[in-house]
Structure 1
Amino acid sequence: MPATRVRLLPEPLKPLANKFYGAHRSKMKATHEDQVWVVEHTQIIAALCLRPVASGHWLTSLFVAPEHRLQGHARELIKAVTSSCNSTVWLFCHPSLSEFYQASGFSPEVQLPEQLSQRLTRYQRSKSLIALAAQTSQAL
């Protein structure tokens, strides 16, 4: 059985991530400005987007195929992404996921770049979300 691999998708292959999200009926979508990271095991089984913002990056669209959940793929992706960054990585999540992200190196964040602060305020009108941040080792 082939092993999994984590990689940053080259620009021409970004549409594969949107195909992956769509195949699982997810509303998530990679944009042209995103770095798209994936876990592959003969095909994409997990993906996330990393968008440049302010002096760091915003982690969005983390999705693991249901049949591959609880196997460490999300942590594997997060570790690869944060170790590749030389800046702060922010994310928004439902409070029930806070423990998972904190175990992956994120902490509650009060000081967000203005662009993310405004977005979080908008999102919180209809969703329960919190902001977390990881200070990557290269950013310290």
Structure 2
Amino acid sequence: MYSVELLPAIMTPLVNKFYDAQKARGRAAKHDNVWVVKDNSKIIAACRLQPVDGYWLLVGVYVAPQFRRKGVAKKLIESAVYHFLSVNPGQTVYTFAYRHLCHFYTALGFQNNSCQLPSELASRLSSYLGQNRQLVAMYYV
């Protein structure tokens, strides 16, 4: 059975080992809220809520290939976002979703960002788009 948990900051290196083993982009920092899904005690999925200039950005969502299409990402993101917002009511969680995953994020309650992105987030998105990444800014309130 899978369990979802928020990792204590001291355990951040464990998620970075997971990302490295999976050849996934990004690295967790101690100031990130790092969420993982474990199968027994093994990390099989991870995501981070990263503070960016007073805002929160969902990044680094990754599920090990053998656990995909089993609801793991859905459970991970829902748990992370719902728990975060229950502790931080009124905050907005942003994400930059790959275009082909927009329907997935919409089903989880994210919306296409029709409002102005905060400047630091807009700058990051612009940089990623300049790298030919097919991303869409989305948010969850």
One fold, TM greater than 0.5?
yes
Matches within 5 A, 1:72-91: 72-84=71-83, 85=85, 86=89, 87-91=91-95
Q: Using the alignment, how far apart are the partners of 1:24 and 1:44 within structure 2?
A: 11
Query: Which of 14, 24, 27 does residue 25 from structure 2 map onto?
Result: 27
Runs of 4+ in 1 over 6 A off after TM superposition: none
Secondary structure of 2:130's counterpart equals: coil
SS at match of 1:28: coil
1:50-89 aligned within 5 A: 50-84=49-83, 85=85, 86=89, 87-89=91-93
- What TM-score comes out, normalization by structure 1 length? 0.89
* 2:35–2:48 CA contact under 8 A, matched in 1: yes
Question: Normalised by the size of structure 2, how large is the TM-score?
Answer: 0.89
One-letter code aligned to 2:74: R
1:9 Cα deviation after fit: 0.2
State how far apart, in whole Å, the 1-side matches of 2:48 and 2:81 are: 12
Deviation at 1:32, TM superposition (A): 2.4
After superposition, the C-alpha distances for 1:68-123 in whole angstroms (9 at most, x for unaligned) are: 00111111111111112221110002211101100111010132111101111111
Letter in 2 for 1:106: F
Q: Which of 110, 117, 120 lines up with 1:115 in the alignment?
A: 120
Q: Give distance in 2, aligned partners of 1:24 and 1:38.
A: 14
Consecutive unaligned residues in structure 2, runs of 5 or more:
none
* Aligned equivalents of 2:62, 2:102: Cα separation in 1: 16
Rounded to whole Å, the distance in 2 between the matches of 1:54 and 1:81 is 20
Shift of 1:27: 2.4
Gaps of 5+ in 1: 136-140
